[in-house]
Amino acid sequence: MVSSRLAYTLRQYARNAQSARPVYPVRSLSTTSRLWTANATASTAAPSEATLTAVADKEALQVQWQDNKRSLYGYLWLRDNCQCDQCIHPSNRQKLHSSADIPLDIAPKSVITKDDVAEVVWNKPLRHGQDKDHVSQYPLSWLQRYANRESSETYRFETLRPQTWDQSQYELDWVDYGDYMHSDEGLHTVVQRLYNKGLVFIDGVPTRDESVTQVAERIGPVYETFYGRDFDVKNVAKSRNIAYTSLYLGFHMDLMYTDSPPGIQLLHSLQNTVTGGASIFVDSYRAVEMLKSQYPEDYQTLTSTAVTFHYVNDGHHMYYRRPTIVAGENDAAWDMHVNYAPQFQGPMDHLSPQEGKRFYRAFQRFADLIEDEKLRFQLTLQPGQLVMFANRRVLHGRTSFDPLSGDRHLKGTYIHLDSLKDKLRTLCEKYGYSSRV
């Protein structure tokens, strides 16, 4: 959409901003002597045109695009988002004024277009400012980017939808460590797959202690938690955490008892000679879809009942309350969160017996869906193999193993979801986005 900059012809209009007429239809403009029509920008290819009109009662500029859609840009918004070097610092790209500085009665003195740029001269300076006759220039491609919410969300890759999966749909497709570490293509693949499926496997990772954080840092800084910069998952006698034993470790997400649970988790196998101990994964978004369609009432209950998560052990007291399902504003891949970690639930002391019963029924139905073997993807990580997964989407767990049969050692770390989204946007802007990765 943004790339269609050359696809339209433009007819240009200027107007006196003080005029009281509510709307200037395109035809009447040229007959109104106070306004003038500039030359159309040359473009023989495009059959239609973009037209700028001032809409007085809405205190806005209207752009009519070639597909006949119209977008309104309020004068306050336009002045606030001036792209000039006085308004946005040319090197650090930060805004140099605040939205609080825009006079509420700001309006254009004139509007003209030059090539594919709309130029506005404003009738007054910013509050507390002296910048008389400030000139703002808005490339049409920029206006088009902010033409509506969908358009700006497309620019930010916020319209992508997750591709939920079950066992039969998840295709194991190893990414080579060298490709990932040393080529944009490898990194682009991993980032898109994490976005689409929430689960990626990398092969050929050197079995060194520092490898897992090096793999993480290819996407963004390590998220250090009270477990440290990285953590070891080994069989340890008298373990402080259930993950460090040889028992079955049921599906869960990490650090639900913190203010910001990590978005991405990495686990790297350094050693594995035990019998058992497979890693298991479930796409919780699929379980949510199933719950929502089969038991809508239970879905509602799980979106509205806060669950207690805590970690009270070893000199720590961590605590957070959040609903099992946080439905986002729209259905974008990262707009929804599932919060599920039965091992770290604390007492739900804030529910009445009736509310409690409703919650337990809903939670049990959701848990049954999660435990459905048809959803489960299972794999035993061999030394040098690494998994990355979206911690707030893909549930992970481990089958039990015989601790006497050998050694098992995984090393893990976390990164923030923001780092992944950052990489996704920059790489996809450069190379495009594919839902098939």
Q: Extract the tokens encoding 362.
A: 């809903």
CB of 215 to Zn ion, least distance (A): 43
CB of 114 to Zn ion, least distance (A): 16
Label each residue of 358-371 as H, E or C.
Answer: HHHHHHHHHHHHHH
Q: Are 166 and 281 in contact (CB under 8 A)?
A: no
Least spacing, CB of residue 333 vs Zn ion, in Å: 35
The answer to whether 205 contacts Zn ion (rule: CB under 5 A) is: no
User: Toward Zn ion, which CB reaches closer, 129 or 356?
Assistant: 129
CB 253 within 8 A of CB 340: yes
Quickly count: other Cβ atoms within 10 Å of residue 104's Cβ.
8
Question: Is 140 or 291 the residue whose CB approaches Zn ion more closely?
Answer: 140
Strand partners, 228: 225
- Amino acid identity at 150: E
CB of 41 to Zn ion, least distance (A): 23
Q: Rounded to the nearest 5 degrees, what angle is found at the Cα of 30, between the Cα atoms of 26 and 50? A: 40
In the complex, least distance from residue 127 CB atom to Zn ion, rounded to whole angstroms: 14
What character string, x for contact with Zn ion (CB under 5 A) and - otherwise, covers 267-306? ----------------------------------------
Count CA atoms closer than 13 A to 27's CA, side-chain side. 0
Beta bridge partners of 72: 62
Q: Measured from the CB atom, is 135 or 379 closer to Zn ion?
A: 135
Identify any residues that bridge with 136 across adjacent strands, giving them in sequence order: 120
* Number of amino acids touching Zn ion (CB under 5 A): 4
CB of 119 to Zn ion, least distance (A): 11
Residue closer to Zn ion (CB basis): 80 or 158? 80
Q: Which of 62-70, 86-94, 250-258, 356-364 is the region at the interface with Zn ion (rule: CB under 5 A)?
A: 86-94
Q: Which residues pair with 231 in a beta bridge?
A: 412
CB of 84 to Zn ion, least distance (A): 3
Say how far apart CA 271 and CA 234 lie, in whole Å.
10
When binding is defined by CB under 5 A, the residue of 87, 306, 367, 437 that contacts Zn ion is 87
Q: x/- contact string, 27-66, with Zn ion (CB under 5 A)?
A: ----------------------------------------
**Measuring CA to CA, which residue among 27, 58, 391, 383 is closest to residue 206?**
383
Task: Tell me how far the alpha carbon of residue 270 is from its chain's centroid.
Answer: 31
Stretch that binds Zn ion, among 44-52, 87-95, 250-258, 392-400 (CB under 5 A): 87-95
User: How many Cβ atoms are within 10 Å of 174's Cβ, its own excluded?
Assistant: 11
- Least spacing, CB of residue 85 vs Zn ion, in Å: 8
Q: Please, which residue, 108 or 198, has the CB nearer to Zn ion?
A: 108
Contact pattern for Zn ion over residues 403 through 422, marking x by CB under 5 A: --------------------
DSSP secondary structure letter of residue 303 = H
Sheet with 394-398, strands from edge to edge, namely 249-252, 394-398, 279-283, 377-379
348 belongs to the binding site for Zn ion (CB under 5 A)? no
Residue closer to Zn ion by CB (options 111, 341) is: 111
Kindly tell me which of 4 and 137 has the beta carbon lying closer to Zn ion: 137
Q: Binding marks (x or -) toward Zn ion, 119..158, rule CB under 5 A?
A: ----------------------------------------
Contact map string, positions 65 to 84, toward Zn ion, x by CB under 5 A: -----------------x-x
Residue 131 Cβ vs Zn ion, minimum distance, rounded to whole Å: 8
387 forms part of the interface with Zn ion (CB under 5 A): no
d(CA 201, CA 388): 6
Please say which residue, 131 or 297, places its beta carbon nearer to Zn ion.
131
| Maximum CA extent, the chain | 93
CB nearer Zn ion, residue 83 or residue 239? 83
Q: State the Cα–Cα distance between residues 82 and 75, nearest whole angstrom.
A: 11
Binding span for Zn ion by CB under 5 A among 38-46, 85-93, 110-118, 267-275: 85-93
Please list, in sequence order, all residues whose beta carbon lies within 8 angstroms of the beta carbon of residue 247, skipping any fewer than 6 positions away. 400
CA dist 31 and 25 (Å) reads 11
Question: Do β-strands 9-14 and 49-55 pair in parallel, antiparallel, or remain unpaired?
Answer: parallel
**By the criterion CB under 5 A, which residues form the site for Zn ion?**
82, 84, 86-87
